[in-house]
Chain A
Amino acid sequence: MFSTPLVIQVYKYMSLQEDHLGTGVWHMQQTSVEQLKQHAIELRKTAVTMVYEAQSGHPGGSLSAADVISALYFREMNVDPANPKWEDRDRFVLSKGHVAPIQYAALALRGFVSNESVYTLRQYGSPFQGHPDMKKCPGIDISTGSLGQGLSCAVGMAIAGQRDEKDYRVFAMVGDGECQEGQIWEAIQAAVKYKLDNLIVFVDNNRLQIDGFCEDVMPLLDLEKKFDAFGFDTTRIDGHSMEQIVETLDTFAKQKNGKPKCIVCDTVKGKGVSYMEDQAAWHGTAPNKEEFELAIKELEGGLPV
């Protein structure tokens, strides 16, 4: 569906500034794909800095997920940083909870939490736990961390929205390695049974897990075909192409046809930091000072697309 490059200039975007005024009035703002790309770079820098400061955390998957997260938080999701528990908000479930740093970075840039506070990642007393904790951190819709479980929670949220005739949508991100968990497929069955077209699942298909390539550890075969066979509306995109992400969210994801949606995003683990790219070793390793400085320098140079 993306044989022709799309030129998408502007997108609606809820104004951060208005949120901070606490007026409760939402103002539409235009955000360009270029701005979303810039936000993604900022998110990557923040996430890498958090992991560096903590000397602990998961940079690889944070970097592969960054572009989708940017599109969701700065364009797509109807959320209110001043009222994170707003009952009509769109929900986001980070089923691959170990990449919490990239979500924390988005929560900071979006105004849920202060920019400085996220650097307390993994410290005692911090809201920014090693894995997302809804009791401690505003903007986290469900605590996750044990792989395979978050998608079920997203299904529960989507069923509630459907039964209550709410307009909110539930976005979930699962890892490809995470799809080795049987519970993922239980959740998928239920999403199809209950016709949850308010559920949009992103697969961060970065092809790596702790022990190496998914293909070697436990092959997942073609996830697009598998979701499709289970009854999802499914598409596959370049998960680092903001144009493709935005186009998919604008069209494919908005179809109210009684079917849940799956977007398989082909991504690169460690995307944007050359020495981390496609390296399983950077799944859960913190950079040292030299590595960190190089990472920031590369990220500031922008992402080659």
Chain B
Amino acid sequence: MSVTKKAVEKKATRAAFGDEIVRLGESNKDIYVVDIDIGKSCKTDKFIEKFPMQHINVGIAEQNGAGIAAGLATTGKIPFISTYAVFGSLRMAEQIRQEVCYPNLNVKIACSHGGLTPGNDGGSHQAIEDMGVMRSFPNMTVIMGADYHSTRKLIAEAAAMYGPVYLRFTRDAVPMIYDENETFEIGKAKQLRDGADIAIIANGDTVRLAIEAAEQLEQNGVSVKLLDMHTIKPLDVDAVKDCLDIGRIITVEDHNILNGLGSAVAEVIAEAGKGQLARIGVQDRFGESAPYEKLLEINGITVENIIAKANKLLTN
């Protein structure tokens, strides 16, 4: 794979949703968007303008939005519910369980404002449990792309597969990592580096941090394997097992350290009975109003902490 060197351009991955859903809507009239009032913020405005007959806005009523999407799906539509991650995973959690996952309907839940990215909105709006909740539901696929292009590709893949998918995007701009020709497969980790000393498994907006940490570690003679685990369910178990020979694994995520990527990887490692793991993520505490980068810092979701964890594992 080719990592774009000019990693200066930044885009929020919610913009990837706004752009890709228009492309999907053009080619398939069964693609619907179910907005829950915050369409502008979730970037569905272009879709609304072009395809009003494929758009529904239920107002501030998440539970109903999920149910309507399920009803649409029974008729062959492919609805994308669009809202913020904290509401899309929690306010409508039971509706997703009962009316989407239980009957295994073809509904996609596309959520902006994932993780700590809605920094200044405060802890009420930061989604730190969402992927863990969604991961608990049978039939659900759970995805967070690392940048604009990968997110677009994964949205397209989600639309092409049958079944419920939870997609999580950033509110804030994050660096472009991949070029637009890169391909992605749901449930298949993207290897960004191969190495022998340390394996770093990251997802979403933390992949950029993992790339930087890996570069600095390499400069100090540490050989790093780096995976972008954009799909935490179904987890690419083989890719994790391939890290077991290295034996020193670090997970990095913008999510609570409980039930997210770190937990999913831990399950594989524990069952294999070998390897050491260090998990980097939100420290099981609610956020507060602060710049996004500050919130990452107070939770240790930083390049420096990845390097520190790597060095600690190497000296064990």
Contact = CB atoms under 8 A, between A and B. Distances in A.
Interface string A132-163: 01110000011111101111111111111101
B94 A146 contact: yes
B68 interface: yes
Interface stretch (A107-115, A184-192, A228-236, A241-249): A184-192
Interface of B: 53-54, 56, 58-59, 61, 63-64, 66-77, 79, 94-95, 98-99, 102-104
Contact of B68 (A143, A144, A159, A182): A159
Contacts of B72: 156-157, 159-160
A91 B75 CA distance: 10
A159 B64 contact: no
Contacts of B77: 160
A152 B74 contact: no
Nearest to A152: B67
Contacts of A150: 67
A150 B95 CA distance: 10
Most buried by A among B61, B68, B77, B99: B68
A141 B75 CA distance: 10
Contacts of A194: 56
Given A134-B103, A135-B103, A186-B58, A156 B94 contact: no
A87 B75 contact: yes
21 contacts: A91-B74, A133-B102, A142-B103, A146-B98, A149-B95, A153-B71, A153-B74, A155-B68, A156-B69, A156-B71, A156-B75, A156-B79, A157-B72, A158-B71, A160-B76, A183-B63, A186-B64, A187-B67, A189-B59, A189-B61, A190-B58
B99 A149 contact: yes
Contacts of A141: 74
B33 to A, nearest CB: 13
B75 A153 contact: no
B293 to A, nearest CB: 37
Contact of B75 (A134, A135, A160): A160
Name the prevailing secondary structure of the B interface residues. Answer: helix
Nearest to A194: B56
B103 A183 contact: no
A164 interface: yes
B98 A143 contact: yes
Nearest to B104: A135
Contacts of A190: 56, 58-59, 61, 64, 68
B41 to A, nearest CB: 20
A155 B61 CA distance: 13
A193 B65 CA distance: 13
Contact of A183 (B67, B69, B102): B67
Given A152-B71, A155-B68, A142 B63 contact: no
A159 B71 contact: yes
CB-based closest 8 A-B pairs: A156-B71, A152-B67, A186-B64, A153-B71, A156-B68, A186-B61, A160-B75, A143-B103
A144 B79 CA distance: 19
Nearest to B102: A143
A153 B76 contact: no
Contacts of B70: 142, 152-153, 156
Contacts of B103: 133-135, 142-143
B99 A142 contact: yes
